[in-house]
Amino acid sequence: MFQQNISLSKYTSFKIGGNAKYFFIANNSDELSKAITDAQKKKMNYIVLGGGSIVLVSDSGFDGLVIINKNDGIDFQKEKVIAGSGTILMNLVHKSIEKGLTGLEWSVGIPGTVGGAVRGNAGAYRGQMSDNISKVEVLRDGKIISLDKKECEFGYRQSIFQTNTDLILSAKLQLQKGDRAESEKKIKELFEDRKNKQPLEYPSAGSVFKNVMIDHNINLDKLLNLPKEYLEYKKIPAAWLIETLDIKGKTIGGAQISSKHANFIVNIGKATANDVIQLISYIKMLVRDKYGIELQEELEYIGF
């Protein structure tokens, strides 16, 4: 059932955002497809939210339809699994391990859903969603089609789904037979590492900025004391760049650059989207001025 003027702050991990003019919870792929099709027929602006992570919603909300994706079916087929796009990624990790399958441990602790992880090619601990993808089922122009991995055009924190209007319905993932005890040990270690390094005690959107790929545009002469491992992997963590600016703990309104992890902006109490925007602009300006590097946001803006 469609609702009106629902606060989106309840549906984002940042706990920030104004109201959606129209609001709908889709519990399966049929409801999800129908809601999208109806919105397109009515030429209504719409967005789909899963776990609401990696997004910042405007203080004025969204002047259109917000669809919450709860399409969370999981179907194991030997060493493959088909997961609905609204499946919570953490749930999929645990259920896979229960089945004696390995391959998704790297994603433990990543908030959000399978659909969001596919769309942004989420990654951590040198693993990423595209490593596991076999097929992605999407709704395109009113028709359900299946795309193979190559057609998804995965890159670092990107995919074709960020530049087209496809609606991700499900993903088929390739896993491997594993040892349940070993997998459980691994995810415990990774989760402890996250807890020690990330400000999980505060609402946030996760990492704000993408890590920086080292190419001909990067002036390494400005990057003193750059660890050799970053040169080896040709990637500079955004957190390292921000850390060198000595601005951890910087606060604007209710938003703060985390004192625990420099690439996190946290909501320490009634933060507004405007507070976050100001901090993002502040960080980008300092990094640009010191290193000549233009940081790119990993989070997406809604309603701006």
Domains along the sequence of the chain with CATH: 3-69 (3.30.43.10), 74-182 (3.30.465.10), 199-302 (3.90.78.10)
**pLDDT computed for residue 224 by the predictor:** 80
For 181-229, how does the pLDDT look when each residue is reduced to its tens digit (9 = 90+)? 999 999 999 989 999 999 999 999 999 999 999 987 888 888 888 899 9
Exposure string for 179-195, b = 16+ CB within 10 A, e = fewer:
eeeebeebbeebeeebe
**pLDDT computed for residue 203 by the predictor:** 96
For 112-141, how does the pLDDT look when each residue is reduced to its tens digit (9 = 90+)? 899 999 999 999 888 999 999 999 999 998
- Residue 207 is among the residues annotated as catalytic for this protein: yes
For 241-260, how does the pLDDT look when each residue is reduced to its tens digit (9 = 90+)? 999 999 999 999 999 999 99
pLDDT at 233 over 90: no
**pLDDT computed for residue 217 by the predictor:** 82
**pLDDT computed for residue 215 by the predictor:** 87
**pLDDT computed for residue 238 by the predictor:** 96
Q: Which listed residue (58, 204, 207, 258) is catalytic? A: 207
Q: Is the dihedral of CA 34, 40, 46, 50 positive or negative?
A: positive
pLDDT at 1 over 80: no
Task: Report the chain's mean pLDDT, rounded to a whole number.
Answer: 94
**pLDDT computed for residue 121 by the predictor:** 95
Query: Residue 31 — very low, low, confident or very high, per pLDDT cuts 50/70/90?
Result: very high
- Residue 13 is among the residues annotated as catalytic for this protein: no
**pLDDT computed for residue 187 by the predictor:** 92
Query: Residue 93 — very low, low, confident or very high, per pLDDT cuts 50/70/90?
Result: very high
Q: Which listed residue (9, 107, 157, 258) is catalytic? A: 157
Average pLDDT, integer, range 155-180: 94
pLDDT at 32 over 90: yes
